[in-house]
Structure 1
Amino acid sequence: MRIRFDLFPGGKSKALTLSYDDGREFDRKMVSILNRFDIRGTFHLNSGLLGKPGYLDREEVKELFSGHEVSAHTVSHPFLNLSPKERIADEILQDRRELEHLAEYPVKGLSYPHGAWNKEVVALLPALGVEYARTTLNNGSFDMPEDFLLWSPTCHHRDMLEYGQKFMDDRPRHPRMSLLYVWGHSYEFNNNQNWDQLERFGELIGHHPDIWYATNIEIVLYVKALHQLRFAVSGELVHNPSASSVWFSLEGQAVEIKPGETKRLVV
């Protein structure tokens, strides 16, 4: 019995997520463009910078990012790899606490300020309640991460059109989860006067029924739920202990296991 963990929600094999840092005022324009194309993303905010010139106001965070994800980026944007453990913990926990107050849900993700990290920083994250952390190391692939605490994106948005087209054309030889992960800063579009690039990306990749448009944390939670499935030795029975539906392929056919369901698999 051939069972493969190769499907996203709805039995889709492709997913798109975006990840943007710093909470600058240009996030407003970016969100308005993404919403037009039903593209969803994660916005990593420095809570200590909110309300300062050029940054978002605290009061707008919940409404602006409705349908997207608010995630941590530390309070003051330090180099975590050059910081003592006590400061790392304080920067992340304070940022989480303040953003959770504003967004009104648990904030469990992080992007590394300046893209800076080391093994000591990574080792601290689980104790600080962080479930994923994004690097700035572009991997140029559509593969799922091996370690969500060192989650490398596909590309920076300067290359989003190139990789967006590759993603749309991608037909892997063997079935797999295919993820396009784009990161950047919204102010870069303003600095380079190339907002049209984001518009063209939306036209290329938005509104496709076979793509799952997800936030970073939704991908993490889905993969965790998928790997929590409990199979009988024979493979003929499966139980889903999670609160989310998950999908996988059985002999090439999509199978949904609903929350709490125990299902007998028939080929």
Structure 2
Amino acid sequence: MPKKILLCYPEGKHKALTMSYDDGVEADVRLVDIFNRNGIKGTFHINSGMFGTLGARQRLTEEEAVALYKGHEVSAHTLTHPTIARSPREQLIHEIFEDRKNLERLFGYTVRGMSYPNGSYTSQIKDLLPHLGIEYSRVVETTGGFGLPDDWLEWKGTCHHNRNLMQHAEAFAGLDKTQYLYLMYVWGHSYEFDNDNNWELMEQFCEFIGGRNDIWYATNIEIVDYVKSYSRLRFSAAQDFVYNPNAHSLWLSVDGDIVEVKGGTQVQL
């Protein structure tokens, strides 16, 4: 009888939380501090052509950003934040590729994700992104649910932080059916907490949802990489062993038992 094999998050967990914030503004300093105090990871989508500028809000300088975002992910948001659905293809390519190059020079790793500036995108833009090295991109629409995306280039979060955040958090914390993989994805802009005078909302959320043993706290790209790595596992036809060609471990539930499959190893199931 074939075994019942299911993908798990690291260490056999079935719930993950990721946070996604745009624009690289000074209010991120307070937000990152809240994340760090509660063991939560975020992805910060940055316009590298706007470092240090003062418009409606103050942007971080390059030096401030490099120091601040350690332990989190920096992702693209285009060079200067245009409404890209209205931009020529040549401008779109320039905006994304130059943003990637600047961020990679500063942070020292390959930038492979983004969020759409002004929530602007088209199916043609989505088709172009893989040719520009982009593997995922977040939109502004949300689902209200806790599932993984069907389309990484049209990644819809669970909620904006101003949309019933604590109700979503309480529902997420209570999920206990291990036959599913759950993901809570929260997005927004940190300056909104200043505008709305509601920093206590994020403090309350992170204190409530942080530090739990049953949740994997991950950046956007960590989730993308982990889930995509599962498709590279090589199972025997009889499903009695599996080879992991990836560099890192993956975890499986095998008839309810948690099995770690280390990178580069074959494991009997």
Q: Same fold (TM over 0.5)?
A: yes
Q: Hey, what does 1:40 align to over in structure 2?
A: 41
Count of residues in Structure 1 that have an aligned counterpart in Structure 2: 264
Equivalent pair of 1:6/1:175 in contact (CA under 8 Å):
no
Equivalent pair of 2:50/2:59 in contact (CA under 8 Å):
yes
> How far apart are 1:255 and its partner, in Å?
1.2
Q: Hey, what does 1:87 align to over in structure 2?
A: 91
**Unaligned regions of 5+ residues in structure 2, if any?**
none
**What is the aligned counterpart of 2:251 among 243, 247, 251?**
247
In 2, Cα distance between equivalents of 1:205 and 1:227: 29
Q: Hey, what does 1:26 align to over in structure 2?
A: 27
**What is the aligned counterpart of 1:166 among 162, 165, 171?**
171
**What is the aligned counterpart of 2:114 among 110, 113, 123?**
110
Q: Aligned AA for 1:114? A: N
**What is the aligned counterpart of 1:209 among 202, 207, 213?**
213
Does residue 183 of structure 2 align to residue 179 of structure 1?
yes
> How far apart are 1:2 and its partner, in Å?
3.4
> How far apart are 1:199 and its partner, in Å?
0.6
Which deviates more, 67-76 or 246-255?
Answer: 246-255
Which deviates more, 88-97 or 55-64?
Answer: 55-64
Q: Hey, what does 1:153 align to over in structure 2?
A: 157
Q: Hey, what does 1:9 align to over in structure 2?
A: 10
1:169-214 Cα distance to aligned partner (Å, 9 max, x none): 1233x61110000000000001111100011001110011111000
Give me the TM-score of the superposition, normalised by structure 2.
0.96
**What is the aligned counterpart of 1:60 among 55, 61, 64?**
64
Matches within 5 A, 1:214-233: 214-233=218-237
1:119-177 Cα distance to aligned partner (Å, 9 max, x none): 000000000000110011101110011111111000000122111111001233x6111
SS at match of 2:156: coil
**Unaligned regions of 5+ residues in structure 1, if any?**
none
Equivalent pair of 1:134/1:152 in contact (CA under 8 Å):
yes
Equivalent pair of 2:241/2:268 in contact (CA under 8 Å):
yes
Q: Aligned AA for 1:43? A: F
RMSD between superposed Cα atoms in Å:
1.0
> How far apart are 1:6 and its partner, in Å?
3.6
SS at match of 1:70: strand
Does residue 196 of structure 2 align to residue 192 of structure 1?
yes
Give me the TM-score of the superposition, normalised by structure 1.
0.97
In 1, Cα distance between equivalents of 2:237 and 2:124: 39
Equivalent pair of 2:38/2:207 in contact (CA under 8 Å):
yes
Q: Aligned AA for 1:115? A: G
Equivalent pair of 1:156/1:182 in contact (CA under 8 Å):
yes
SS at match of 1:196: helix
SS at match of 1:167: helix
> How far apart are 1:61 and its partner, in Å?
1.7
Equivalent pair of 2:6/2:254 in contact (CA under 8 Å):
no
SS at match of 2:140: coil
